[in-house]
Each structure stands twice: as C-alpha cells, then as structure tokens.
C-alpha cells in the first residue's frame, strides 16, 4: 500500500495543472455544444480513465445556453492495458453501454488516445449500431505511437511522449484521482 509520502514522491513533474485541464474541458464543451446546438446528445465515457473528463464535460455542456437540448451520460468499459504500462494491442469489452445509441448523436469520450486501437474498436462497434452522428472527444492526444489512423473530432491537449497519470489515467490503478496530469519517476514503475 502506498503512503501519501510515497505517492507524492512517485511524481517526477506536473505536465498539465488542474487549471489547464479545466480550461481544456471548457474548450471541448464549447466545440461540442456548437456542433450539437439544441440537439439531444449522448456522451459515452470510456471507463475507467474517462470518468473525470466525461463528468466535467457534461457539467460544462449543461452550463452552455445554446448547447445540447438534453445530455445522456453512459459508459462503456474496455481494456487493452491490464496492469501493464503498455497496451497489449488487444481490446476487450468488459461492459457495454446501458442505453441503445441507434438514432442518437453520440460523442465517445476518451481520457487519452495513444496507439488508436481502442478508439478504432469503439468507432467500429458504434457505427454498426447506426447512431445519427458519431464523434470522438479525447482530453489528451498522444500521437507518437499511433498504430492506426483514427478520426478524433475534439482534442483537449497534446500529451508529451511519456507515461502519464492523473485525471483518470492510472498506473496499476493508482494516481487516477490526481487533479492534474503528471509524469512518474522511473523508480515508481519498479515500486508498483
């Protein structure tokens, strides 16, 4: 079990502050609201990483006067990492959405896009379900190791080519709750 001191000591540096992330979420909300002005919208957060961003995004959208006419928040859970710092490349569905998306305006909300495989999988899965529109929103884009080209309609911030944690992103289920994005010290990978 990590103590507060070891948790803090595992952080090499802050990459994006909570304030910078909040500003990026607001920019994303403004862009999504412009595209879905007075239309119903379903946000599908990809668990577990997008938990914070989809929540903050839904709140920001609700505060925009000419935004979506209604907002449904749903979640899907997929995995390609397990407890590793590298994706296996195989995407497995752990939990599907609760509500049908056929005929709905859908925005897939991801915490980060790295190799693109998860988002490609989700786009393909959802396109088969015939939504009225389908877009993708990612808070952090990390294009350095992209294995597939996948459309991303809304991008918050570009992540450096580092393993990052915080604001939903984890290392072995730790650090998700940090309100900022951080880089871990190399020793943290050995301790974990």
Query: Using 50, 70 and 90 to split pLDDT, how confident is the model at 189?
Result: low
Would you call 114 a catalytic residue per the annotation? Answer: yes
Helices (H), 36-185: 51-62, 117-127
* Closest C-alpha to 68, from 129, 132, 138, 151: 132
Compute the distance between CA of residue 76 and CA of residue 99 in angstroms, rounded to an integer. Answer: 11
* Residue 124 pLDDT: 95
Structure letter (DSSP) for residue 143: G
pTM over 0.85: yes
Q: Which residue has the higher pLDDT, 127 or 84?
A: 127
Query: What domains are there in the chain, each with its CATH number?
Result: 20-165 (3.40.50.2020)
For the chain, what is the mean pLDDT? 90
* Residue 192 pLDDT: 47
Q: Which residue has the higher pLDDT, 93 or 181?
A: 181
Average pLDDT over residues 72-94: 75
Average pLDDT over residues 157-185: 93
Question: What Rg value do the Cα atoms of the chain yield, rounded?
Answer: 17
Among 74, 114, 153, 170, which one carries the catalytic annotation?
114
CB 168 within 8 A of CB 51: yes
Which residues make Cβ contacts (< 8 Å) with residue 82, sequence separation at least 6? 88
């Amino acid at each position: 079990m990590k103590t507060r001191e070891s948790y803090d000591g595992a952080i090499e540096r802050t990459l994006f502050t909570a304030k910078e992330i909040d500003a990026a979420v607001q920019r994303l909300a403004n862009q999504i609201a412009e595209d879905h002005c007075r239309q119903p919208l379903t946000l599908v957060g990809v668990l577990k990483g997008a938990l914070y961003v989809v929540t903050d995004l839904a709140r920001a959208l609700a505060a925009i006067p000419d935004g979506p006419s209604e907002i449904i928040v749903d979640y899907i859970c997929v995995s390609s990492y397990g407890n590793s710092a590298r994706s296996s490349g195989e995407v497995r569905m752990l939990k599907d959405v609760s509500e049908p998306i056929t005929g709905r305006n859908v925005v897939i909300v991801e915490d980060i896009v790295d190799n693109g495989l998860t988002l490609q999988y989700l786009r393909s899965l959802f396109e088969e379900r015939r939504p009225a529109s389908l877009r993708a929103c990612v808070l952090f884009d990390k294009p350095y190791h992209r294995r597939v080209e996948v459309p991303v309609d809304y991008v918050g911030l570009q992540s450096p080519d580092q393993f990052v944690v915080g604001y939903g992103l984890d290392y072995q289920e730790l650090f998700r709750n940090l309100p900022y994005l951080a880089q871990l010290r190399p020793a943290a990978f050995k301790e974990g």
